[in-house]
Structure 1
């Protein structure tokens, strides 16, 4: 599905553009689960030509740098060394690396990303849940974290919930079509935790599935109720 430019996605694009132009080219996009962080990351890739990598629990510094090198087109033996040591041609365009799930990185990996931004002409956009204060408490790592925070500065964006109108225009209408019933729109908005992007997309897709099964041209209250019951039950099972 086409990525929608919600106000939060627009803000994320704005801080990414700032990182491309800044002396300290590191930006940060945070937000809760389902707030649309990865959607924003993919939009940055699409609009600004960035390269995206995703982290996992336990990823090492070397694994991170290897993925970064591959994403930036540096492959083969010694790719990490060439990423870190090769001189960037004078006047070369700055590259951009979007690091999704960055909250899973340890301080060594974050230091490596800071080096890429400081020395290798790579703009870095960190995407993930807020994690700094909880993860780094030691005297040494705390100082490194403060250095990273200073480089990020004001280049920060936090994803949040959409209001009712945005939920309709960016989620419900694109997935399920026009809906003139304001009560249904309001109920949908409440049903996806008042505009949570992930919950909204899941609920809308379930509505669309039920509409297709029953060959309905438009969303109605019965379909929405059935979709809400399914999603509520699924979330209850997950807990």
Structure 2
């Protein structure tokens, strides 16, 4: 089956790696990657981890400021009693670390402010990754005033993820999994079925096509295979809805 965690050299990944390089060099070392679900945000974050040896956490609903600090301290090699306090005392002259925070939309404003403090005072560059729910925190009346400092630190250091175009879908999903496909109609059909390039759904669709091909002894991707896989995708969405 196709592996969703495999990192592809997409435009978004390249932009994310360039963002990480910029954030590491900035006086205000905070950046963000935002986009809709399934558009490659997590893959971009993992690419940053692989390229720069970054620390990574995935936020969870209800995560507190102390839980965040404890997790980051552990990743930074700070253990034992008072690890969170030791992390806060690193100082801005310490060796700069890079922290990727996935699912930042699940962070409360207090947690986001703590991340700003780590970037300001503790020599930890931060890249926040989240959906539109994360972005909304900067415009909602209740949280906007509380996040003004964080927003000013981020500035223009932003990457927006997006769906793959047909060429990218072919280059990064279809060809690596199925080999050369000459039929442009098949490529277009595949691209359309995964909501015109949603990366996560493209990988899931490819996996279902592989299953159908294996169970029926089919060697190449065909319109019939895609039709069956498309029905599976439609039924899956109906169940989830």
Measured in 1, the distance between the counterparts of 2:137 and 2:104 equals 14
Deviations 1:43-82 (A, max 9, x none): 1100111011001111111111111111222122111011
Q: Is the 8 A contact 1:26 1:125 kept in 2?
A: yes
Question: What residue is the counterpart of 2:145 in the other structure?
Answer: 143
Pair 1:133-2:136 in alignment: yes
Question: What residue is the counterpart of 2:232 in the other structure?
Answer: 230
TM-score for both structures, normalised by structure 1: 0.94
Measured in 2, the distance between the counterparts of 1:60 and 1:45 equals 24
Question: What residue is the counterpart of 1:99 in the other structure?
Answer: 101
Q: What secondary structure does 2:32 align onto? A: strand
Measured in 2, the distance between the counterparts of 1:42 and 1:184 equals 30
Q: CA RMSD in A?
A: 1.5
Q: 1:132, CA displacement in angstroms?
A: 3.9
Question: What residue is the counterpart of 1:28 in the other structure?
Answer: 32
Q: Is the 8 A contact 1:26 1:152 kept in 2?
A: yes
Query: How do 1:38-57 residues align onto structure 2 when only pairs under 5 Å count?
Result: 38-57=42-61
Q: What secondary structure does 2:125 align onto? A: strand
Select 2:13's aligned residue among 9, 13, 19: 9
Deviations 1:181-209 (A, max 9, x none): 11000000011111011111110111112
Q: What secondary structure does 1:160 align onto? A: coil
Q: Is the 8 A contact 2:39 2:161 kept in 1?
A: yes
Measured in 2, the distance between the counterparts of 1:36 and 1:191 equals 17
Deviations 1:12-47 (A, max 9, x none): 111111110000000000000111111111111001
Aligned residues: 235
Task: Structure 1: state its 5+ residue gaps.
Answer: none
Measured in 2, the distance between the counterparts of 1:86 and 1:122 equals 9
Question: What residue is the counterpart of 1:209 in the other structure?
Answer: 211
Measured in 1, the distance between the counterparts of 2:203 and 2:82 equals 42
Q: Is the 8 A contact 1:132 1:145 kept in 2?
A: no
Measured in 1, the distance between the counterparts of 2:218 and 2:237 equals 26
Q: 1:134, CA displacement in angstroms?
A: 4.5
Task: Structure 2: state its 5+ residue gaps.
Answer: none
Measured in 2, the distance between the counterparts of 1:238 and 1:132 equals 25
Q: 1:218, CA displacement in angstroms?
A: 1.4
Pair 1:184-2:186 in alignment: yes
Deviations 1:158-195 (A, max 9, x none): 00011100001101111222211110000000111110
Q: 1:143, CA displacement in angstroms?
A: 2.6
Pair 1:18-2:22 in alignment: yes
Measured in 2, the distance between the counterparts of 1:55 and 1:119 equals 21
Measured in 2, the distance between the counterparts of 1:97 and 1:87 equals 16
